[in-house]
C-alpha cells in the first residue's frame, strides 16, 4: 500500500506538469482526489490492513492527499496568472500617448475687448455698472432730453414692446411710457445719478438694439460703452485727457484725440471724438499710399460725447449749479471690429465657431 501511495503521488505530479488549462486540471483533480478517484480506491484497502499498520498508513495517505492538493492549488494559481498576462499582452497599452484633450470654450472676442476696456477705466477710478436692456421710454428718451418728436423715437429705429406700459408709471409726471429695447446705453446715466448722485465716475458697457436692416456694418443688436463723470470743476479737458490715456493704454502706443462739434440732445455742448489713425499715425499716408483705415484723413471717428445737459442732471436729481461733468458713448462692437480687422458685424453674434475660434 505504501508503494501504491508513492506511485500515485509520482504519477499525479508528473501528469500535473503536462496540464495547460484549468479544465484539464479539474479533470486531474477528480481523477486522483475525487470520490471515485485513485486515492479513494487505495484508501478502501485500509480496512483490510492489520490494526498496527492502520495509523501509519492513515497518516501517509493524508500526507499524500495534502501534497497533491497543494500541488494542484499551485498549478491553479500559475494558470490564472498566465491567463492574465496573456490577456494583457494582447492589449497594447501605450502610456506615452497623450490623453484625449477635453475641448473647453474661451471668451468671445467682444467680451475680451470689453474686459480690457473695463480694466483700463477701473484703473482710472471708474466704477463699472449695468442697466436694463428692456427700458422705459422715459429713461431711453425723455430723461435724456430727447423730445417726443425726435426722429430717433420713430418706429423705424426703435423696437417697442407690444402692449407693455412701464409698471411704475405713477411716480413720475408724464409717466414712463411704453417699454422699448434700449437703443443706447445712455439711459443708465440717469439711473446712476438717481441711485448714487454726484460725484460719480462710471462706465456702463452693454447691449443695445436698433430696428435696422442688417448689412456688413449694421446689426439689430450691438454693444456700446457709456461713460459718465460728474463732479465739481470738471471740464472738457478732463475728457480729452481720459480718452487719450484710455486709447493709448488700449492700443499700447501713443494715441492722440481731437474734438469736432456734434449734436446729441443730452449734452451741451456736444461733440464727436476722433483718434489718430494707428496705421498711418495721423499722416493720412501709409508708406506713401493713401491710408485705407482713416481714408487719408489721419483720424478715425470714435464716439459721441459732450458736457452733460442740465436737464439730464436734473432728471437724475443732481443740482446743475453745483455739479457738472461729461458723458460719452462708443461702440464696443465697432472697437472690437477695428481691433481684429473684422469686416462684417454680423459675424460677431453669429454663434459660428469657425469665427470665434480664431480669437
Ligand atoms: N447714445 C449715443 C448713441 O447711441 C452716443 C453718445 C453720444 C453717448 C454722446 C453719450 C454722449 O453719452 O454724450 O449714438
Cα 93 to ligand 1 centre (Å)? 63
- Pocket probe for ligand 1: among 266, 268, 272, the residue whose CB has the most ligand atoms within 8 Å is 266
Q: pLDDT of 41-90, one tens digit each?
A: 888 888 888 888 888 888 888 888 889 889 888 888 888 888 777 777 77
Considering the domain architecture, whether residues 137 and 192 belong to the same structural domain is answered as yes
Question: Which one is predicted more confidently, 294 or 190?
Answer: 190
Q: Is 284 a residue whose pLDDT tops 70?
A: yes
Q: What is the pLDDT of residues 176-195, one digit of tens each?
A: 888 999 999 999 999 999 99
Res. 155: pLDDT tops 70? no
Percent of the chain with pLDDT over 90: 53
Q: What is the mean pLDDT of residues 330-339?
A: 94
Q: pLDDT-derived band of residue 153, with 50, 70 and 90 as boundaries?
A: confident
Is residue 186 in some structural domain? yes
Question: How many domains does the chain fold into?
Answer: 2
Q: Is residue 231 part of a domain?
A: yes
**How far apart (Å, rounded) are the C-alpha atoms in residues 178 and 213?**
23
Write the DSSP symbol of residue 327: E
Containing H/E element for 165?
strand 160-165
Lowest mean pLDDT among 16-20, 225-229, 240-244: 16-20
Q: How many angstroms is it from 304 CA to the middle of ligand 1?
A: 5
Specify the 3-state DSSP secondary structure of 126: coil
Residue with cell 406700459: 165
Distance in Å, CA 51 to ligand 1 centroid: 120
Residues 171, 64 within the same domain: no
- For atom 6 of ligand 1, the residue with the nearest CA is 329
Stronger pLDDT, 336 or 72, i.e. the higher one: 336
Give the domain extent around 253. Answer: 109-356
Does residue 288 share a domain with residue 224?
A: yes
* b/e map 232-271, b = 16+ CB within 10 Å: eebeeeebbebbbbbbbbbeeeebbbbbeebebbbbeebb
Q: Are both 72 and 150 inside the same structural domain? A: no
What is residue 55's predicted lDDT score, i.e. its pLDDT?
A: 85
Residue with the nearest Cα to atom 3 of ligand 1?
A: 184
| Residues 118 and 70 grouped into a single domain | no
pLDDT at 256 over 90: yes
**For position 321, which CATH number holds?**
3.30.930.10
Domain-located, residue 32: yes
Confidence bin at 170 (pLDDT 50/70/90): very low
Ligand 1 midpoint to CA 317 (Å): 20
Judged against a pLDDT cut of 80, whether residue 282 lies above it is answered with no
pLDDT, tens only, 95-107: 898 888 888 889 9
Do 22 and 154 fall within a single domain? no
- The 10s digit of each residue's pLDDT in 76-85 is 888 888 877 7
**Per-residue pLDDT at 196:** 96
Across all residues in the chain, what is the average pLDDT? 90
Amino acid at each position: 500500500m505504501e508503494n501504491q501511495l508513492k506511485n500515485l503521488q509520482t504519477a499525479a505530479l508528473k501528469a500535473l506538469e503536462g496540464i495547460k488549462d484549468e479544465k484539464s486540471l479539474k479533470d486531474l483533480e477528480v481523477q486522483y482526489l475525487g470520490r471515485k478517484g485513485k486515492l479513494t480506491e487505495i484508501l478502501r484497502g485500509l480496512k483490510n490492513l492489520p490494526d498496527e499498520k492502520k495509523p501509519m498508513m492513515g497518516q501517509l495517505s493524508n500526507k499524500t492527499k495534502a501534497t497533491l492538493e497543494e500541488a494542484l492549488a499551485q498549478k491553479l494559481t500559475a494558470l490564472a496568472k498566465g491567463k492574465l498576462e496573456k490577456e494583457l499582452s494582447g492589449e497594447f497599452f501605450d502610456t506615452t500617448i497623450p490623453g484625449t484633450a477635453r475641448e473647453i470654450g474661451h471668451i468671445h472676442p467682444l467680451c475680451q475687448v470689453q474686459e480690457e476696456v473695463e480694466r483700463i477705466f477701473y484703473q482710472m477710478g471708474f466704477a463699472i455698472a449695468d442697466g436694463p436692456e428692456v427700458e422705459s421710454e422715459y429713461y431711453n428718451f425723455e430723461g435724456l432730453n430727447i423730445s417726443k418728436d425726435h426722429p430717433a423715437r420713430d418706429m423705424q429705429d426703435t423696437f417697442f414692446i407690444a402692449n407693455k406700459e412701464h409698471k411704475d408709471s405713477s411716480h413720475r409726471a408724464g409717466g414712463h411710457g411704453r417699454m422699448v429695447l434700449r437703443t443706447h446705453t445712455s439711459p443708465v446715466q440717469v439711473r446712476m445719478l438717481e441711485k448714487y448722485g454726484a460725484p460719480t465716475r462710471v462706465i456702463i458697457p452693454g447691449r443695445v438694439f436698433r430696428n435696422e436692416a442688417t448689412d456688413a456694418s449694421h446689426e439689430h443688436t450691438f454693444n456700446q460703452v457709456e461713460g459718465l463723470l460728474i463732479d465739481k470743476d470738471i471740464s472738457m479737458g478732463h475728457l480729452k485727457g481720459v480718452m487719450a490715456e484710455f486709447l493709448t493704454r488700449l492700443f499700447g502706443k501713443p494715441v492722440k484725440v481731437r474734438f469736432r462739434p456734434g449734436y446729441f440732445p443730452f449734452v451741451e455742448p456736444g461733440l464727436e471724438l476722433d483718434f489718430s489713425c494707428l496705421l498711418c499715425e495721423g499722416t493720412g499716408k501709409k508708406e506713401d499710399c493713401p491710408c485705407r483705415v482713416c481714408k487719408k484723413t489721419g483720424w478715425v471717428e470714435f464716439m459721441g460725447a459732450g458736457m452733460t445737459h442740465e436737464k439730464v442732471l436734473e432728471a437724475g436729481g443732481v443740482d446743475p449749479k453745483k455739479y457738472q461733468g461729461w458723458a460719452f458713448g462708443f461702440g464696443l462692437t465697432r472697437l472690437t471690429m477695428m481691433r481684429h480687422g473684422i469686416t462684417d458685424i454680423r459675424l460677431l453674434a453669429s454663434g459660428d465657431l469657425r469665427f470665434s475660434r480664431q480669437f
